[in-house]
């Protein structure tokens, strides 16, 4: 018998598989396809203080080994999420969720995190300071160590639940940002968010996406994500949720060897809505194949 359980800052998960924010909505649509209680948890759609329509369309561009999106944090706003989405979610998911929070100022992050911290269904707050698809916020906080620390410190003052800071790969030194967040009180680090990319339509000779650039995700970014998780594991002592191009049980094992305690799966959900379920079902045999009986024993095992 193999042991799939992992622990994120006191929150015990049945397995390390977590659908990533922005690729799983608020869970309802996927609950119509399979019992989502098989998941370790999931990170719900990035939520902001106010309702957002997001960026102008078109927002999606395809690539050979991934996709580019520029949705721009479209969401109904935190009040609607608490009033409408969480009660609906409670009917189909009986575990704690990860609340992903976006913002355009420290005050907005504080407001939204403080409200979600009071919700019983929320187990971890994931603060996204790394969205490349919005102006005046998002990634701008995640590319400067001092700014990242200020957001972390402010959010920690109004929360009681573990706070994980989601970092941008679009920086020179990912470890500098991670260490600043840890020093400011972060309970964990989530990485990586999408890389910045673009496509150009050869017929119109214009960028495919209305916002010109967007977040590049999918299988192609896995080696970059793996490298950054490896680096951050050596730089901090808090748990890491690794993500970026993960699409198989083998990828999960590799990400955990690099230093991740749990693993989020993003773009692969948009290709195959059953991918998280299938990876969980495949994990026991994959573990046996590599002589692993307890996932906790391999976290950071490549160091």
Give residue 1's pLDDT.
87
* List of residues 6+ apart from 233 with CB closer than 8 A: 240, 258, 259, 260, 300, 303
| Model confidence at 167: pLDDT above 90 | yes
3: cis peptide before it, omega within 30°?
no
176 within 8 A of 23, measured Cβ to Cβ: no
| Model confidence at 134: pLDDT above 50 | no
Tokens (6 digits) for 210: 């209305």
Average pLDDT over residues 176-194: 97
Task: Residue 276: name the closest of 19, 66, 14, 41 by CA.
Answer: 19
**150: Cα separation from own chain's centroid:** 20
70 within 8 A of 135, measured Cβ to Cβ: no
| Model confidence at 150: pLDDT above 60 | yes
105 within 8 A of 36, measured Cβ to Cβ: no
Tokens (6 digits) for 192: 């990586």
Q: pLDDT tens digit string along 222-266?
A: 999 999 999 999 999 999 999 999 999 999 999 999 999 999 999
What residue segments make up the domains of the chain, in order of their start?
6-298
Provide the 8-state DSSP code for 3. B
pLDDT band at 294 (very low <50, low <70, confident <90, very high): very high
pLDDT band at 132 (very low <50, low <70, confident <90, very high): very low
So which residues are the catalytic ones? Answer: 131
CATH number assigned to the domain with residue range 6-298, chosen from the 4 options 3.30.450.70, 2.60.120.10, 3.20.20.70, 3.30.70.20: 3.20.20.70
DSSP reduced 3-state for 159: coil
* List of residues 6+ apart from 96 with CB closer than 8 A: 11, 41, 121, 122, 123, 124
Other Cβ atoms within 10 Å of 95 Cβ, number = 17
């Amino acid at each position: 018998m193999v042991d799939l359980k992992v622990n994120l800052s006191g929150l015990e998960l049945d397995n390390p598989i977590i659908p990533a924010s922005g690729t799983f909505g608020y869970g309802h649509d996927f609950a119509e396809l399979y019992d989502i209680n098989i998941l370790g948890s999931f990170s719900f759609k990035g939520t902001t203080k106010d309702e957002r329509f997001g960026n102008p369309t078109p927002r999606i561009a395809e690539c050979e080994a991934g996709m580019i999106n520029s949705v721009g944090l479209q969401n109904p706003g935190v009040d609607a999420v608490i009033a409408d989405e969480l009660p609906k979610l409670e009917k189909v998911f009986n575990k704690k969720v990860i609340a992903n929070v976006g913002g355009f100022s420290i005050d907005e992050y504080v407001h939204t995190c403080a409200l979600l911290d009071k919700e019983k269904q929320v187990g971890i707050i994931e603060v996204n300071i790394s969205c490349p698809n919005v102006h005046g916020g998002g990634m701008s906080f995640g590319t400067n160590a001092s700014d990242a620390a200020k957001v972390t410190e402010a959010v920690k003052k109004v929360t009681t639940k573990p706070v994980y800071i989601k970092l941008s790969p679009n920086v020179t030194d990912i470890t500098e940002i991670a260490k600043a967040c840890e020093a400011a009180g972060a309970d964990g680090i989530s990485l990586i968010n999408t890389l910045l990319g673009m496509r150009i339509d050869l017929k119109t000779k214009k960028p495919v996406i209305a916002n010109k650039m967007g977040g590049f995700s999918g299988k192609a970014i896995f080696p970059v994500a793996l490298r950054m998780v490896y680096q951050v594991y050596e730089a901090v002592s808090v748990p890491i949720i690794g993500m970026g191009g993960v699409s198989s049980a083998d990828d999960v094992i590799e990400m955990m060897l690099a230093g991740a305690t749990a693993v989020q799966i993003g773009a692969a959900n948009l290709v195959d809505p059953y991918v998280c379920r299938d990876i969980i079902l495949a994990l026991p045999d994959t573990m046996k194949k590599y002589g692993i009986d307890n996932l906790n024993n391999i976290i950071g095992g490549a160091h």
